[in-house]
Structure 1
Amino acid sequence: MKINKFAVAIFAATVLFSSCKKSSPETTSPEEPTPTSNSLYSVWVTTAAGSSYLLTADNLMKDTLLTAANNQGIDITSHLPAAFYAIYAYAYEGKYYLSNDGTRFSQFEVVNSKSWKETNNYAFPGNFYLGKVLKDISTKDEMVMTKTAGTTNKTKNVLEQPIYFMNVNNLTINKTIGIEIPMITFNPKTPEGKDHNPYIVPTSFTQRGDKLFVGHKYRSNETRKDIIDTAYMYVCDYPSLANGKIIKDARGGFAAGHWEVQTLTFTDDNKDLYVVTKKTDAATYGLLRIKSGQTTFDPDYFFDLKDYNVFSNNISQVQKLGDGKVYISPFVIDPANKKIVADLRILVGGGESKTTMNFMENGKLYDVFKTDESKWYVYEYDPAKNSVKRGAEIDPGISQVYHLNKLR
């Protein structure tokens, strides 16, 4: 594992406050807490052969092995055209929602922790893969979501992006609204002089007060790679969608992320909005900010994360930890003060975070790390104590963990 000098210095400063003793992962197992009544957690894994399973547990912190062997896992391979479609799936209010074949959108429920069944579905008239879920707008009964790609209207020079308000009780669409994101007017070229013929990929949807902020980036139809190192954000009134405008900032690269369910923007307790940025030519990241009540990027704020191996192996879900801190894998960050609080790779004793989805419960973060010894474990991180506890081990025969979810 490569850990840079910045992370080591941060760890040296914080270890005195950590309740986790410096030891190998094998000696950091916690005492087994009493499971919460009726709790159900799931771990979405994929094997090297391409099979996908849901491994369920009533207690992720129990010292046990979660495995698909002997029919202990729920085989969901047949519901997916490819294992990577976990990135087009979402756990919401205790049920899974996933794109099956590009039009059929399905609702699944885990039954007795041993199987799952399709409880409903909706057939879109055209191409559909689940994109972003607008958590700020969604309610218990209505999931607000987008699809991965809208339609480029070359006549109007806009991306027409639909937003669906889905009734999760009967899987019908209550309403659909459409935003129109203006495209660039210049014509970028490849180094060989070819036309990139760029298209827009929405990377985030954030509703804050009476405004909707839509982060997006440009990709090339010629190379199928990200182009233009500028963060673009479409801002409009919400819910009217009126008074739309484009704001942009070139200090950190494009608005990071892709069109699948992970969201790389977040608001803090002051309602300041932070946007993760990324350079096209290197895996270097940064943070921009739009202050509360403002609709432009803060010219006095940029947190350059180029010296930190953020999202080293996987684009994970950003999690707000409370008390001004946020988890941008594998680091705990204080964005307002531009500080790295902890490197979880050090706290867990070596390894890398390996999920696209993690979750918070009772003020604690739950994520999966693959250790330097190639063992997979669930870890609980306590932001208040800046400490970790090791929980369940995951079958070593898997090749990837996608989701770590609490279903109830």
Structure 2
Amino acid sequence: MKTKKINLIKSMLLLFVISSVALSCNSDDDTTITSPDPEPISISKYVVGFQANPIGQATGVDYVLELPSLESLTTGEITVEGQGIPLKGWRFFHSVNNTVFSSGYGDDDKCIAYQLDEAGKLKEAANFTFQSTLDNYAAIDDKTLLAVELTGGVDDFTKNIPDRSFYIVNAETGLLEKVVTHAIDSRVGKGTEESPAYIPWVTGMVLRDGKLFVSYHKLLPDNSFAPVDVDKAYVAVFKYPEFELESLIEDERTSFIGINGHSTGIEKTENGDIYSFSSSSDAAAITGATKSSGILRIKNGATTFDPDYFFDVENAPNGGKLFWMDYVGNGKAIGRIVLDDSLGTWKIFAEQGSFFKMVVIDLINQTVTDVQGIPDHANRYTSPMFVENGKAYLSSRVGASLVSGGKIEDGETHIYIVDPETAMATKGAKVKGLTLKGIFKVSN
């Protein structure tokens, strides 16, 4: 009997162990294994600032338009018919990293920041207003847009000329962080014929090693935008972000740096050197200049113009007076040369006409090479040029000059893709509008 009890106990223990194992296995089989959330897929698109033909209107209509791929710039047509975001009035366009900014000019006092949402759709991310027209912009780093106001005149220019207001914008949020008001050039004169008063008008900004280099014109403060002391190049050097004015530098070998409506009067290259261009063109509103159109350099680590470097573009083979220049990389820039400087002040700012030829400028070897494959053209506004894989993408319009009776409907705008190494241009997509004011690539 005792043996039977022991065997019974053993059997019950064995049954318990088997049941426990079975339950354990069932429990394991029922366990749900949760995989980690997949990484979000980054979406990239190309965004353009689009100026439509002014059909039935006195001025063009600006849009911001997203394009799905680089191919959209190289083939087919670019149009805002049935798409795009219409904006208010004539506008500037600029970008910092993955944010595109559109700022009103005259008709609107709002700067709008656009970004791609999680689904890759272009949306307004933020906006801010400004007191006076913002006229010059610079992406001073990957997170900051710096913009400066334009004031064309004051009531009594025998008194002190107002300081400039710099708008510091967070490019990640699109929001205005602060406004810093500071004098650029306090040597504003006395408002007399012997000592004319003037307003410093910013044409370019570059940040390097905690120093902000600001190029500017001197304009009469009577809303005429007439230049004063035009035969010098001027740059103010600030300690940044403190905005403490450290020095004012000038050079008598050329004229004012930059022109109206461009943010590329001065640019920084890969090795830290800063180059500036001066137009000296009457047709580009640098009236009265007698010095050659040329390029100056501020070497890396220096805060003065390099006395051993002056590129006389006007008198170089294939050269002339510069209307615009933008840096591509590898020591080269793309430029537009004025073909006829006798047209009259501001005339080549018209949206259509054979005003310019395109050139590749070698800043190191000081050469100018005509770009083949692009006709004489017009393009009065050029945002910082879009560059991908070493190629420059920009729009140009051909057609009879609006200055001499040409009609908008007879002109045509295309994207041109310029290879700075070969100085060859390829015609890309047709633009069903006046121009693309900017081409940008953004990701979410």
For Structure 1 versus Structure 2, the TM-score category normalised by the shorter chain is: 0.7 to 0.9
* Mapped contact 1:151–1:161 kept (Cα < 8 A): no
Please, which of 355, 369, 377 is the counterpart of residue 396 of structure 2?
369
Instruction: Return the offset for 1:366.
Output: 0.5
Instruction: Return the offset for 1:365.
Output: 0.7
1:231 corresponds to: 233
Q: Do the aligned partners of residues 252 and 359 (structure 1) sit closer, same or farther apart at CA in structure 2, a change above 3 Å counting?
A: same
2:84 corresponds to: 74
Q: Counterparts of 2:187 and 2:169 in 1: how far apart (Å)? A: 31
State the secondary structure of the residue aligned to 1:60.
helix
1:305 corresponds to: 313
Q: Do the aligned partners of residues 227 and 353 (structure 1) sit closer, same or farther apart at CA in structure 2, a change above 3 Å counting?
A: same
1:392 aligns with 2:429: yes
Query: Which blocks of at least 5 consecutive residues in structure 2 are unaligned?
Result: 1-41, 281-285, 337-357, 400-409
Q: Counterparts of 1:112 and 1:209 in 2: how far apart (Å)? A: 35
1:19 corresponds to: none
2:220 corresponds to: 220
State the secondary structure of the residue aligned to 2:48.
strand
Instruction: Return the offset for 1:185.
Output: 5.3
Q: Counterparts of 1:61 and 1:371 in 2: how far apart (Å)? A: 18
Instruction: Return the offset for 1:385.
Output: 4.0
Residue identity opposite 1:64 in structure 2: G
Q: Counterparts of 1:114 and 1:376 in 2: how far apart (Å)? A: 28
Instruction: Return the offset for 1:169.
Output: 4.6
Q: Counterparts of 1:362 and 1:148 in 2: how far apart (Å)? A: 35
State the secondary structure of the residue aligned to 1:40.
strand
Higher relative contact order (CA 8 A, sep 6+): 1
State the secondary structure of the residue aligned to 2:437.
strand
Please, which of 399, 419, 423 is the counterpart of residue 382 of structure 1?
419
Please, which of 361, 368, 373 is the counterpart of residue 348 of structure 1?
373
Instruction: Return the offset for 1:56.
Output: 4.1
Q: Do the aligned partners of residues 319 and 113 (structure 1) sit closer, same or farther apart at CA in structure 2, a change above 3 Å counting?
A: farther
Query: Which blocks of at least 5 consecutive residues in structure 1 are unaligned?
Result: 1-35
Please, which of 288, 297, 310 is the counterpart of residue 289 of structure 1?
297
* Mapped contact 1:310–1:328 kept (Cα < 8 A): no
1:267 corresponds to: 268
1:26 corresponds to: none
User: How does 1:175-194 map onto structure 2 within 5 Å?
Assistant: 175-184=178-187, 186-187=189-190
| Aligned-residue RMSD, C-alpha | 3.6
Greater Cα radius of gyration, structure 1 or 2: 2
State the secondary structure of the residue aligned to 1:206.
strand
Q: Deviations over 1:138-185 (max 9, x none)?
A: 334x43333334998989956522333323454443344443223335
User: How does 1:95-174 map onto structure 2 within 5 Å?
Assistant: 95-100=99-104, 102-109=108-115, 118-124=124-130, 127-136=131-140, 138-140=141-143, 142-149=144-151, 157=160, 160-174=163-177
Q: Counterparts of 2:425 and 2:307 in 1: how far apart (Å)? A: 36
2:438 corresponds to: 403
Instruction: Return the offset for 1:325.
Output: 0.8
2:54 corresponds to: 48
Q: Do the aligned partners of residues 181 and 158 (structure 1) sit closer, same or farther apart at CA in structure 2, a change above 3 Å counting?
A: farther
Instruction: Return the offset for 1:186.
Output: 4.2
Q: Deviations over 1:319-372 (max 9, x none)?
A: 3222211122322111232211x222xx12423252512311122110112246
State the secondary structure of the residue aligned to 1:292.
coil
Instruction: Return the offset for 1:54.
Output: 4.0
Residue identity opposite 2:176 in structure 1: I
Q: Counterparts of 1:227 and 1:113 in 2: how far apart (Å)? A: 52
Instruction: Return the offset for 1:392.
Output: 0.9
Q: Do the aligned partners of residues 350 and 113 (structure 1) sit closer, same or farther apart at CA in structure 2, a change above 3 Å counting?
A: farther
1:339 aligns with 2:374: no
Residue identity opposite 1:91 in structure 2: S
* Mapped contact 2:100–2:440 kept (Cα < 8 A): no
* Mapped contact 1:150–1:162 kept (Cα < 8 A): no
Q: Counterparts of 2:302 and 2:161 in 1: how far apart (Å)? A: 24
Q: Deviations over 1:301-327 (max 9, x none)?
A: 222222434555xx5xx4322221112
Total equivalences in the alignment: 348
State the secondary structure of the residue aligned to 1:228.
coil
Moved over 6 A (4+): 110-116, 150-156
Q: Counterparts of 1:310 and 1:180 in 2: how far apart (Å)? A: 31
